[in-house]
Amino acid sequence: STTSYTTAQLTGSIDDTGGVEVTTRGFVYGLTVAYGATTTESGAYDAPGSFDAYLTNLEPATTYHWRAYATNSQGTSY
């Protein structure tokens, strides 16, 4: 959502937990759709809502690919 020369703010949203508590959420990102880097927040997230990650030390003038994820006992969704 916000970028500067070498930083970015990513925002994701969990729309539905399926009635099962989310235990981990975050983002995968990288220079290709193979991603390669991960941010992780561990905790107990039992309601839908948005979350952010702040990336630093990015390469300037470079395209990054990213997607949000959430994990619970049923698996991981992106």
| DSSP-derived secondary structure for 14-47 | E---TTS-EEEEEEEEESSTT--EEEEEEEEE-S
Question: What's the rounded mean pLDDT across residues 57-67?
Answer: 93
Asked whether 53 and 9 are in contact (CB, 8 A), the reply is: yes
Distance of alpha carbon 56 from alpha carbon 12, whole angstroms: 17
Residue pLDDT, tens place only, 1-51: 556 689 999 999 999 998 999 999 999 999 999 999 999 999 888 888 999
| Reported confidence tier of residue 69, pLDDT bands at 50, 70, 90 | very high
Q: pTM of the predicted model, to two decimals?
A: 0.88
